[in-house]
Amino acid sequence: MAGQLIPVWRSLSGGALIGAAAGLLMVVSGRVAGISGIVAGSLKANFGKQSWRLMFLLGLVLPALLVGVGPVDWSASPPTLAAAGVLVGFGTRLANGCTSGHGVCGLASLSRRSLAATATFVTVAIVTVAATHLLSHP
Amino acid sequence: MTALVALIAGVVFGAGLMLSGMTNPANVLAFLDVAGHWQPALAFTLAAAVAVAVPAYAMMRGRARSLLGEVVDVPERSRLDTPLFLGSGLFGIGWGLSGVCPGPGVILLTTGTASAMAFVGALTLGAIAGSIVCGLRD
């Protein structure tokens, strides 16, 4: 499935908003905007300390609820998505971060671990996509 | 106040993900398809996000408290260990199979589709398993 052609202004301004949100959460609340960590943390029982995570997740879905998420082309089948979900959930706990925690916040804080993590998951994802294409169009 | 800031950060983060096109799995897969029809747009998104977040993280470096007086919660570890690479590798496979990472996954729940529920449901189970393996660190 080919992606949409995203105009450069959208790529840049979308990224700027993501960076601004991560910066705001750090400067004002001292928290890392790492979504895998926020999801995993929000599952824990003690509500008083976790409410900021639930509020962040509520905020995350609000724009989509208000204006709709736009075009969504799922390339993978639900069973593949379920397998992928387990890998994403498990892997990001093991590595303590995902695209947002390591990729945005970690790189912004010049963390060596986050640079290694980001280089690893981007490289492995590129190889996975190439392998998927080879297997589906031999 | 912390809850309100988290809500605002979530809204801005979600709007950024939508604007950048990351909420469409096909766009993410096109970015990862370096060996095929590569669409580099999301590289601009990551670069812009990091560039905007860098000053915020630089400002907080070495500080114990945020503007609201919250404890600044930035991971201090710098060791490049096996869980970091293994976890990032597993995450990369899942990301490459699906084109979805945790943030867009949560937003895609608003579509109410079996695909989104399969992915996020599995991600949640994987995260719980990962947290158990990691000794439930906070």
Q: Which of A92, A100, A113, A115 to mutate to test the interface with B (most CBs of B within 10 A)?
A: A92
- A78, B115: Cβ pair inside 8 Å? yes
- A80 in Cβ contact with B98 (< 8 Å): yes
Could you tell me which chain A residue has the CA closest to the CA of B57? Answer: A109
Question: A98, B102: Cβ pair inside 8 Å?
Answer: yes
Contact yes or no for B13 and A21 at CB 8 A: yes
Would you call B38 an interface residue with chain A, using a CB distance cutoff of 8 Å? Answer: no
Between positions 4 and 23 of B, the ones with CB within 8 A of A are 4-23
Task: Say yes or no to pLDDT of A63 above 60.
Answer: yes
What does the pLDDT average to over B112-133? 96
Per-residue three-class SS string for chain B: CHHHHHHHHHHHHHHHHHHHCCCCHHHHHHHHCCCCCCCCHHHHHHHHHHHHHHHHHHHHCCCCECCCCCECCCCCCCCCCHHHHHHHHHHHHHHHHHCCCHHHHHHHHHHCCHHHHHHHHHHHHHHHHHHHHCCCCC
Return the pLDDT at B138: 43
- The answer to whether A69 contacts B111, with C-beta atoms less than 8 Å apart, is yes
Residue A133 has its nearest CB partner, among B36, B109, B127, at B36
Report ipTM (2 d.p.). 0.95
Average model confidence (pLDDT) for chain A?
93
Contact between A81 and B115 (Cβ < 8 Å): yes
Torsion (CA) A58, A27, B134, A119 in degrees, nearest 10: 100
Contact A91 B113 (CB under 8 A): no
- Tens-place pLDDT, residues B2-34: 899 999 999 999 999 999 999 999 999 999 999
CB atoms within 10 A of CB B76: 5
User: Chain A closest CA to B28's CA: distance in Å?
Assistant: 8
* Residue A71, min C-alpha distance to chain B (Å): 6
pLDDT at residue A47, as a whole number: 61
Cross-chain residue pair A23–B67, CB shorter than 8 Å: no
Of the given ranges (A67-71, A91-95, A121-125, B60-64), which has the lowest mean pLDDT? B60-64
Residue A116 CA to its chain's centroid (Å): 17
Burial (0-12, 13-18, 19+ Cβ within 10 Å), B78: exposed
Taking an 8 Å cut-off on Cβ atoms, the answer to whether B61 and A70 are in contact is no
